[in-house]
C-alpha cells in the first residue's frame, strides 16, 4: 500500500516547524504588538543554509495575518513577502513591493484605485520595463527614495483608515535572502530613512522582518553604519537531539492519521537522524523523508536511515544538490579551496589542525593561509575558539557529500 510521506523537505512549511523556536516566536509576538502600537523594532534573523530561516518567515506571516492566534489574540496586519537577489535595485524593490501589496489587497477588496494613485511614481519605470537610466545618479536616487518612502507611508495610512474591507494593524514586510541584496539597493540606508520618515509622519506601523546568512550584517553595515540599530538580531540555532526527535515524532503522528497505519521508529534510528542532520531542520525533513520511503515494515530502523541517506537519489545526494553543489563549485573560487575542504572531509566535522591540512596540501604555505582565510570569511569552515589553527567544516553532511558526490555531474 502506498503511504503518504509526512516529511516535506522541499517546503518551508512542515509538521513540527514551531519546535525549538519558542524564544523566536515570543520575540515575534512582542514585535507585532509593538508595531501595532506604533513602536516597532525590526527583526533580523540570521543563520546558515538549512537552519529554517524561510520556514520562520512562514511562521511570522501566519501570525501577522491572524491565521494563528498568539497570547494576545489575532493580529490583522497586511503582510507581504519578497525575495531579494543581487540584481535588484531600488526601483525593482519598489515595483515588487507595490505588486505584492496590490495582490494581498485584491484578496479582500478588488477596488484598489487608491493604491495605484499612491504608487503612481512607478508608472514611468513599469512602462519602460524598469529601464532605469541614471543620467544624474545622486539626484535620481534621492528622488526615488523619497517617492518610495512616501508611497509606503500613504499605504499605511490607507490600511489603518479603513479604505479596504477591514482596518489593518499596519504593514509587515518580510524580506528573504537579504544577504544577496546588491550595493545598488542600499538596503540599510533605505530602511533607516524609511524608519525615520514613518516616525516623523506618525505612521510608525510598519515592521520589517528580514532573513539571511550571517554576512547580512555586513551588507547592512556597508550601506549605513547605524542600520543595525533598527533591528533586534536573532541567530537561529540548530535543533537539539530532543527537539529533532520531537520533529520526527510529530511527522509520524501525522502519517498515522493520514495512512491509518502506525509507523514506529527505534531510538538508534532517531539518534542517527540527529547525527546526520546535526539538527538542521531541512536536513531532518530530508533524512526523515528518505528513511520513511526506505522502510518496508512500518518500523524505521537504523538500517533504514543509513540506506535512505546513502543510496542513489537518497537524502545525502538530494541535500547536496540543493545546498552543497553550488557552494562547492560556484561560491568557492579556486581548486585550492576545494582541495582544503576535501582534506578536511576525511575528518567529517571533527576539528582538523592546520598542520594536518598542510601535510596533504599541494601548494605553498602562503596559498594555504589565503585559502583558509577566504573559507573562514565565507563561513564554510569554522575556526575553533581559543585554539589557534584548528578548523572544522560547517556541516558533517558536507563532508559526506564531498567524498561521495559525482564530480563530473556538478562541474558542468
CATH number at residue 346: 1.10.10.10
CA dihedral over 274, 276, 277, 282, signed as positive or negative: negative
**C-alpha span between 342 and 388 (Å, rounded):** 21
E-strand ranges in 332-388 read 352-353, 381-383
So what's the pLDDT on residue 15? Answer: 65
Q: What does the pLDDT look like over 350-381, one tens digit per residue?
A: 899 999 999 999 999 999 999 999 998 888 88
194 lies in the same domain as 266? no
101 lies in the same domain as 55? yes
226 lies in the same domain as 247? no
Q: What is the pTM of this model?
A: 0.83
Domain total in the chain: 3
Which residue range(s) make up the domain with 224?
A: 22-235
Residue 279, in any domain of the structure = yes
pLDDT band at 408 (very low <50, low <70, confident <90, very high): low
Q: What does the pLDDT look like over 121-180, one tens digit per residue?
A: 887 776 655 555 455 445 457 888 899 999 999 999 988 886 555 789 999 999 999 999
Residue 165: DSSP 8-state: S
302 lies in the same domain as 348? no
Which residues are paired to 81 by β-bridges? 174
Q: What does the pLDDT look like over 49-63, one tens digit per residue?
A: 888 898 889 889 999
**C-alpha span between 323 and 121 (Å, rounded):** 39
Residue 296: how many CB atoms within 10 A of its CB?
Answer: 7
Residue 55, in any domain of the structure = yes
So what's the pLDDT on residue 132? Answer: 54
**C-alpha span between 88 and 83 (Å, rounded):** 10
Amino acid at each position: 500500500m502506498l503511504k503518504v510521506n509526512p516529511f516535506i523537505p522541499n517546503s518551508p512549511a512542515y509538521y513540527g516547524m514551531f519546535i525549538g523556536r519558542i524564544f523566536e516566536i515570543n520575540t515575534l509576538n512582542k514585535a507585532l504588538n509593538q508595531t501595532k502600537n506604533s513602536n516597532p523594532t525590526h527583526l533580523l534573523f540570521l543563520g546558515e543554509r538549512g537552519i529554517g530561516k524561510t520556514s520562520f518567515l512562514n511562521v511570522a506571516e501566519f501570525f501577522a495575518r491572524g491565521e494563528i492566534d498568539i497570547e494576545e489574540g489575532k493580529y490583522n496586519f497586511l503582510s507581504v513577502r519578497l525575495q531579494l537577489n543581487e540584481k535588484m535595485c531600488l526601483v525593482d524593490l519598489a515595483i515588487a513591493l507595490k505588486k505584492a501589496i496590490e495582490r494581498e489587497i485584491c484578496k479582500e477588496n478588488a477596488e484598489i484605485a487608491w493604491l495605484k494613485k499612491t504608487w503612481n511614481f512607478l508608472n514611468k519605470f513599469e512602462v519602460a520595463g524598469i529601464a532605469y537610466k541614471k543620467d544624474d545618479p545622486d539626484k535620481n536616487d534621492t528622488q526615488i527614495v523619497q517617492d518610495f518612502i512616501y508611497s509606503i507611508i500613504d499605504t499605511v495610512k490607507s490600511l489603518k483608515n479603513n479604505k479596504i474591507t477591514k482596518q489593518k494593524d499596519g504593514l509587515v514586510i518580510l524580506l528573504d535572502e537579504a544577504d544577496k541584496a546588491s550595493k545598488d539597493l542600499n538596503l540599510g540606508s533605505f530602511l533607516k530613512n524609511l524608519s525615520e520618515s514613518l516616525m516623523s509622519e506618525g505612521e510608525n506601523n510598519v515592521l520589517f522582518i528580514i532573513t539571511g546568512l550571517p554576512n547580512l550584517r555586513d551588507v547592512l553595515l556597508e550601506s549605513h553604519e547605524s542600520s543595525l540599530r533598527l533591528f533586534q538580531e536573532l541567530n537561529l540555532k540548530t535543533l537539539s537531539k530532543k527537539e529533532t526527535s520531537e520533529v520526527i515524532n510529530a511527522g509520524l503522528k501525522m502519517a498515522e492519521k493520514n495512512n491509518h497505519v502506525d509507523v514506529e521508529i527505534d531510538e538508534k534510528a532517531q539518534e542517527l537522524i540527529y547525527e546526520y542532520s546535526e539538527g538542521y531542520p531541512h536536513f531532518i525533513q530530508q533524512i526523515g523523508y528518505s528513511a520513511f520511503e526506505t522502510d518496508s515494515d512500518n518500523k524505521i530502523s537504523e538500517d533504514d536511515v543509513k540506506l535512505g541517506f546513502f543510496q542513489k537519489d537518497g537524502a545525502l545526494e538530494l541535500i547536496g544538490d540543493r545546498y552543497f553543489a553550488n557552494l562547492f563549485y560556484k561560491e568557492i573560487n579556486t581548486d585550492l579551496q576545494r582541495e582544503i575542504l576535501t582534506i578536511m572531509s576525511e575528518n567529517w566535522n571533527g576539528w582538523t589542525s592546520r598542520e594536518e591540512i598542510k601535510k596533504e596540501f599541494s601548494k605553498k604555505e602562503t596559498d594555504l593561509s589565503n585559502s583558509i582565510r577566504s573559507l573562514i570569511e565565507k563561513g564554510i569552515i569554522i575556526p575553533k575558539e581559543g585554539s589557534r589553527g584548528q578548523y572544522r567544516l560547517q556541516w558533517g553532511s558536507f563532508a559526506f557529500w564531498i567524498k561521495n558526490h559525482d564530480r563530473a555531474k556538478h562541474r558542468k
